[in-house]
Amino acid sequence: MSGKKKPRILVVGSMNMDLLAYGVPKIPEFGETVRCGTYDLVPGGKGSNQAFAAARLGADASIVGCIGDDEYGRTFVKELDSVGVDTRFLVFDRNERTGLALICVEKSGRYVCYVMLGANMKLDGQAVERALQAEKFDMVMMQLEMPEETVYATHALAVRFGIPVFLDAGPPMAVDFGRLKGLHILSPNEAETEALTGIRIDSDAGALAAAKELYGKAAPRYVILKMGSRGVFFYDGTIAKRMPAYGIEAIDSTAAGDTFNAALAVGLCRGEPIMQAIRAAQAAAAICVSRKGALPSIPTLLEVEVFLQKTPYPGHPL
């Protein structure tokens, strides 16, 4: 991986300060107090995670996002600058606070998240257009933690500039795929897939049915369903294949999906075959779930390369 070209990736999306509660024994009922373990306060959010991960994994990454003119917003700039993410296109909103997410992590590593999007909801297409006019990019990555019209505007602008779009379809929300036709990659997780299709993907048959439905709606080049510990399900209109996950003990799955997406985007922009890029992305996500937090858990390109050399792939050889 390290010997190939350095891709330029633009991430358009959310930036939330994460308050993480660990050792959560259960999700409480209304009025119930549940005693947990430790906590952390660290930068996160799908857009920030993906830009940070893309930079750590070898890309020239830039981010378009909206943050408050507050302490949390300044923390984001410092953290992203520290790994070389281009933060020139960030927008500071003086009337809104930086987004905040409360993330409750079970001992198994699974989590639930409550998010207050704040300034993220002020992000508009003009900010995206400024970035696309200023630089040339190999891929645009976006998510759904921003205004719906900004999602559509980002896709339309990328199409106009001839740039492939990677949509991480989270968090779950209704999407007009008629306005997103021709995505390069559509990649929801289990909950997002069920929200978009009404189909549970706890079996390969369910995953195939959901992938076919999404493929028909959005006409992407690839549908890649993230299935947690069961791996990922790949569909391109002809080939359907589940690729099992590496057997890593999960400590915290926060940012694992974002790390997977960023690693996959970097690999594809380097010209790697899709299956090889997925395998490397799974390795990056496996390292991520073995650590706590969002940005602190994201591995470097060298860490992923060492992992791939030392860890047997659980599926069929590629």
Task: For residue 209, give Cα distances in angstroms to 124, 176, 205.
Answer: 34, 19, 6
d(CA 74, CA 306): 34
Catalytic member of 93, 138, 168, 258: 258
Rounded to 5°, the CA angle 299-304-308 comes to 155
- Identify whether 69 is a catalytic site residue: no
What is the spatial order of strands in the sheet that 39-44 belongs to?
39-44, 16-24, 99-106, 111-116
d(CA 117, CA 14): 8
144 contacts 170 by C-beta, under 8 angstroms? yes
Helices (H) and strands (E) in the chain, counts: 9, 14
Using alpha carbons, select from 10, 179, 29, 17 the residue that is nearest to residue 99: 17
In which element (H, E) is residue 230 found?
Answer: none
What does the radius of gyration of the chain's CA atoms come to, in whole angstroms? 18
d(CA 205, CA 285): 24
**Residues designated catalytic:** 258
